[in-house]
Amino acid sequence: MFQKITALAWKDTIIRFSSRTELLFFLILPIVFTLLLSGGASSNQNGDVDNRVPLLLVNRDDSEPAAMLVETLASSDVVRIDEQPLAEAETLFADEQAPALLVIPAGFGEAILGGETAVLELRQLPDNNNATAADRAVQTAVSAVSRPWAAARASVQEADRLEAFPDEAARRAYFQQATALAESLLADEPERIVVTQPEAALGEASTYDQAAQQSAGQLITWVFIPLLGTSALLAFERRYGTLRRLLVTPTRRSTYLLGTITGQFLLGVVQMALLIGFGILVLGVNWGRSPAGLTLMLLAFGLAAVAFGVALGTFVKTERQANNLSIMLGMSMALLGGCWFPIELFPPAVQTAVHVLPTTWAMQGLSDLLMRGAGVAEILPETAVLGAFAAVFFVVGIWRFRYE
Amino acid sequence: MNKILQIGWKDLIILFRDKGALLLMLGAPFVLTLGLGLVTGAFSGGSNGLTGIAMVVVNEDSGQLGQALADMFFSPDLEDLLVPQTAVSPQAARQLVDENEVAAAVIVPASFTDSILPDNSGQLGKPVSIEIYANPARPISASVVDSIVQGFVHQVETSMVSVNVAMTQLVMNGRIAPTNADDLMALGQEMGQRFITQDSAAPIIRLERDEAAAEAATNPNYLAFLAPGMAVAFLMYTVALGGRSILAERDSGTLARMLIAPTTTTEVLAGKVLGIYLTGAAQVSVLILASSLLFGLRWGSLPGVILLIATVAAAATGWGLLLASVATRPSQVSSLGTALMLIFGILGGSFAQIPFSGILGQLSKITPNAWAIDGFTTLGQGGTLADIAPALLALVVMALVLFGTAVLIFQRRSGALIAR
């Protein structure tokens, strides 16, 4: 029996890789997608990875406040400023080379030093989430850079309340003195907020880790689709009548299914190992915190996916139907399972509803391992659910399986 | 001409009768648009997960600042963004995070107020920090809570620094006499209360935005971007399938049979190209119509939409032909076509709005996706034909270049095209 299973698994591997283009889907496209979506393909002039949102910046004011704002924006984690003259910036913005354009107008610094409200012009591409991110980053920078000026303005107003300034020059000198004092005092303020995490996750980034999200999410997407494609193998065998021929050999239905499943499952495991290696070596994702937990999680996910493929194979009629259904279901379920975007961004009701999908549990398990520092014990619930999916799909597949 | 039309119509009918092909031509883009609409909250008025963030607060501070912070989480201003709850102890709050019930726990320590506001003798307590115990599985939501707390702390700090600066300057500049410490203390405390509670002061810097664009950026209608993106992405699959049919007809011998009839190679190929083009245009039209009827999506100027469909179908057909011209087997066209669909989908912005720069930004311009999405979203936002002229021109040029290249390759391989 073992020999038969091995032979069937090897035969399916040969069929699947009979065309070299299969390597595109097995390895090349998953790597390309992981790289692009994690921002790993964007690098700055130093060659460092820089996946911040580009923000076109036009600084038409040669003043210290304007320079301070530019400096604060330059240190943003969210936006990467691209300083340009107005005409070039407008052309680039019109060409949608950047989702937002910030103009610091002439007289910006003058207004601030005069205690007036300074105005910044922000243009954004509509219906664009990067424009929203740029907007928030500009607001954060404005809020941070305004603090000493806010204190200085309050000080000038208090002085004015007691005794009016003799002239504008005196008022301005008072404002500048106050700004310097406020900057010095704010710099000396102690740290009043500390961000901590569960002990198990210590050492992991407390902020959103796009590389970890995409390394896990794209792994699930690109392994899930071909494992669903097991359904195409069954359709292929039916089309060529090879399943009927098996009837004349002393091969049981369960042996045939076990051989097919084993082959595809092992290929899935190899693919997952390669993608994890890529995540560790190229993206620096910490996949190695709990090797036992990771192994358990991947095996459970692989089994659930291949079982789904077998069940699907008993419903489809042709290879094209099977292949296209695998792509459609695989992409949709990966998307809804939080493999493309963090599930925390979904509406609350959708977050709950998507737990009917195996991809949600797989993503949750891998996120727990990667971001929450979970071990075997913590991911047992996800593993159990994936195991249950596998059992149900296998039962459906075996029950409905026909040789022709 | 009649023969060309007949061949083209025949291919259109064949593809639209193929249930397997329809899954990716119409099913996948529709299901993915639906899925993306669901996860981005486009069907629920934009209420995505960044509204209703579950968080917990523990206030161990007996002073006014701790209470003010705790009250702020329950204020009407934040009721859409946060779903706050209180916990009796830091341990209980942390447990809620550990159990993934909330995105973050905010723990305000005892004597937080005393560490910022001086007492009657002017003394400040030892510095203490607010702890934000963040849920690593919900980093984005936790960072929102963090930024709210930071905003509060910054406001308090700025107010206190303002008092300090104002008092120092008043004394330094002789506007008040530093004779009576109690009077100074009283003035400082009165000022502090005023600064902390006043929120009506004009901002130091005001951000001026184009109102309509700002509204669209703040509450983006993701469907307006997703629907055309998906329609164009899966158009690449359709044209590859059309290109595949050229080689499939050769392998099955029907191409040779057509050539026995009084039909020239050019007529047959023109008919096949017309078939691919018509199928692609029909596919995008059906998806546009369906999203208009089912999602209520407005696509803008009808002539603009028709022109865009016509040009994007032409550019995509060019890619399909190019694939068919370089491939040797039908299955190769299918595989490469699916790969191209996915690569163009990610590079051209069909699957996600990624701000590509440098060489990737340039590469995205060779995809019909980037130009078509640009055109469709411009029209959806009320753009005119003039606004989408660059996109139309780019798609036409792309189509011509790809057609020309494919024809040259077909001519060089004309023998291989008719018989293997």
Residue B98's contacts (CB-CB under 8 Å, 6 or more residues apart) are A198
| C-alpha B200: how far from chain center | 35
- Alpha-carbon distance of B405 to B385, in angstroms, equals 29
Q: Given an 8 Å threshold on Cβ–Cβ distance, is B162 in contact with A154?
A: yes
The token pair at A362 is 């797989």
CA-CA-CA-CA torsion sign (B68, B69, B71, B77): positive
The token pair at A74 is 């330059």
pLDDT higher for B186 or A149? A149
Query: Is A210 within 8 Å of chain B by CB?
Result: no
DSSP secondary structure letter of residue A195: E
Query: Is A125 within 8 Å of chain B by CB?
Result: yes
Highest mean pLDDT among A286-295, B49-58, B196-205: A286-295
pTM of full prediction above 0.80: no
- Alpha-carbon distance of B110 to B119, in angstroms, equals 15
Which residues in chain B have their CB less than 8 angstroms from residue A344's CB? Answer: 49, 103, 137-141
Report the pLDDT value the prediction gives residue A45, as an integer from 0 to 100.
46
Query: Is A151 within 8 Å of chain B by CB?
Result: yes
φ, ψ of residue A124 to 5 degrees: the values are -130, 150
- Alpha-carbon distance of A162 to A366, in angstroms, equals 64
Which residues in chain A have their CB less than 8 angstroms from residue B381's CB? Answer: 126-127
CA-CA-CA-CA torsion sign (B312, B313, B316, B321): negative
Read off the pLDDT of each residue in B336-356 and give the average, rounded to a whole number.
85
CB neighbours (10 Å) of residue B360? 15
Give the residue from chain B lying closest to A185, CA to CA: B161
Residue B277's contacts (CB-CB under 8 Å, 6 or more residues apart) are B8, B313, B314, B317
pLDDT higher for B15 or A174? A174
**pLDDT by position in tens, chain A (length 404):** 778 888 888 888 887 787 777 888 889 999 999 988 887 655 444 445 556 778 999 999 989 899 999 999 998 877 889 999 999 999 888 877 788 999 999 999 989 888 888 999 999 887 666 787 788 889 889 988 999 998 998 899 888 888 888 888 888 889 989 999 999 999 888 899 999 887 766 555 556 677 888 899 999 999 999 999 888 888 887 777 777 777 678 777 778 888 888 889 999 999 999 999 999 998 888 888 899 999 999 999 999 999 999 999 888 888 888 888 898 899 999 999 999 888 888 888 888 899 999 999 999 999 888 887 788 998 999 999 999 999 999 899 888 877 66
Q: Which residues pair with B86 in a beta bridge?
A: B57
Chain A closest CA to B284's CA: distance in Å?
17
Which residues in chain B have their CB less than 8 angstroms from residue A158's CB? Answer: 166, 170, 191
In three-state secondary structure terms, B74 is coil
What is the β-pairing status of strands A53-59 and A79-83? parallel
Interval A4-34: pLDDT, tens? 888 888 888 887 787 777 888 889 999 999 9
Query: Is B208 within 8 Å of chain A by CB?
Result: yes
- Alpha-carbon distance of A11 to A5, in angstroms, equals 10
The token pair at A277 is 């290696």
Residue A161's contacts (CB-CB under 8 Å, 6 or more residues apart) are none
ipTM, two decimals, is 0.76
* pLDDT tops 90 at residue B416: no
Task: Give the DSSP letter string of A120-146.
Answer: EEEEE-TT-HHHHHHHHHHHHHHHHHH
Report the pLDDT value the prediction gives residue A21, as an integer from 0 to 100.
78
Which residues in chain B have their CB less than 8 angstroms from residue A191's CB? Answer: 127, 129
| Confidence bin at B367 (pLDDT 50/70/90) | very high
- Alpha-carbon distance of B184 to B193, in angstroms, equals 14
Report the pLDDT value the prediction gives residue B294, as an integer from 0 to 100.
80
| Confidence bin at B42 (pLDDT 50/70/90) | low
DSSP secondary structure letter of residue A373: -
Give the closest of B32, B136, B357 to A201, CB-based: B136
Give the closest of A142, A155, A367 to B165, CB-based: A155
* pLDDT tops 80 at residue B179: no
Q: Given an 8 Å threshold on Cβ–Cβ distance, is B165 in contact with A178?
A: yes
Tell me the residues of chain A between 43 and 82 that have a Cβ less than 8 Å away from chain B. 43, 53-54, 69
Query: Is A137 within 8 Å of chain B by CB?
Result: no
In three-state secondary structure terms, B114 is helix
* pLDDT tops 50 at residue B87: yes
Give the closest of A123, A155, A341 to B210, CB-based: A123
State the Cα torsion B2-B6-B7-B11 to the nearest 10°. 150
Burial class (CB in 10 A: 0-12, 13-18, 19+), B236: buried
- Alpha-carbon distance of A323 to A319, in angstroms, equals 6
Interval B103-154: pLDDT, tens? 999 999 999 999 988 877 777 888 999 999 998 878 888 888 988 898 899 8
Q: Given an 8 Å threshold on Cβ–Cβ distance, is B335 in contact with A22?
A: yes
Tell me the residues of chain B between 115 and 174 that have a Cβ less than 8 Å away from chain A. 115-116, 127-143, 146-147, 149-151, 153-154, 157-158, 161-162, 164-166, 168-170, 173
Q: Given an 8 Å threshold on Cβ–Cβ distance, is B213 in contact with A159?
A: no
Tell me which H or E stretch contains A267.
helix A253-281
Read off the pLDDT of each residue in B11-28 and give the average, rounded to a whole number.
80
Give the closest of B137, B165, B175 to A181, CB-based: B165
Report the pLDDT value the prediction gives residue A38, as an integer from 0 to 100.
80
Chain B closest CA to A36's CA: distance in Å?
8
What is the β-pairing status of strands B53-59 and B104-108? parallel
- Alpha-carbon distance of B207 to B125, in angstroms, equals 37
B157, A192 contact by CB (below 8 A): yes
Give the N- to C-terminal CA distance of chain A in Å, as an integer: 23
Report the pLDDT value the prediction gives residue A44, as an integer from 0 to 100.
47
Which residues in chain A have their CB less than 8 angstroms from residue B225's CB? Answer: 127-128
Report the pLDDT value the prediction gives residue A309, as an integer from 0 to 100.
93
- Nearest to residue B284, comparing CAs of B259, B316, B257? B316
Output the furthest CA–CA distance in chain B (Å, rounded).
114
A138, A119 contact by CB (below 8 A): no
Give the closest of A155, A158, A204 to B136, CB-based: A204
Mutation target to probe the A interface, by most A beta carbons within 10 A, among B22, B141, B162 is: B162
Residue type at A29 in one-letter notation: L
Mutation target to probe the A interface, by most A beta carbons within 10 A, among B25, B39, B297 is: B39
Sheet holding B104-108: strands in order across? A193-196, B130-134, B104-108, B53-59, B82-86
Angle at B330 (CA atoms; ends B325, B333), nearest 5 degrees: 60
Query: Is A42 within 8 Å of chain B by CB?
Result: yes
Chain B closest CA to A230's CA: distance in Å?
16
Taking CB atoms and an 8 Å cut-off, how many pairs form between chains A and B?
Answer: 327
Task: Give the DSSP letter string of B396-412.
Answer: HHHHHHHHHHHHHHHHH
Query: Is A318 within 8 Å of chain B by CB?
Result: yes
Q: Given an 8 Å threshold on Cβ–Cβ distance, is A192 in contact with B116?
A: yes
In three-state secondary structure terms, B53 is strand
Q: Which residue has the tokens 């809804």?
A: A336
DSSP secondary structure letter of residue A49: B
- Alpha-carbon distance of B356 to B361, in angstroms, equals 5
| Confidence bin at B50 (pLDDT 50/70/90) | low
Q: Given an 8 Å threshold on Cβ–Cβ distance, is A42 in contact with B358?
A: yes
Task: Give the DSSP letter string of A77-111.
Answer: SSEEEEE--HHHHHHHHHTTSSSEEEEE-TTHHHH
Report the pLDDT value the prediction gives residue A50, as an integer from 0 to 100.
59
B268, B245 contact by CB (below 8 A): no
Give the closest of A143, A150, A191 to B129, CB-based: A191
Query: Is A15 within 8 Å of chain B by CB?
Result: no
Residues, chain B: 420
Chain B closest CA to A119's CA: distance in Å?
5
Which residues in chain B have their CB less than 8 angstroms from residue A110's CB? Answer: none
* pLDDT tops 70 at residue B415: no
A108, A63 contact by CB (below 8 A): yes
Q: Given an 8 Å threshold on Cβ–Cβ distance, is B35 in contact with A336?
A: yes
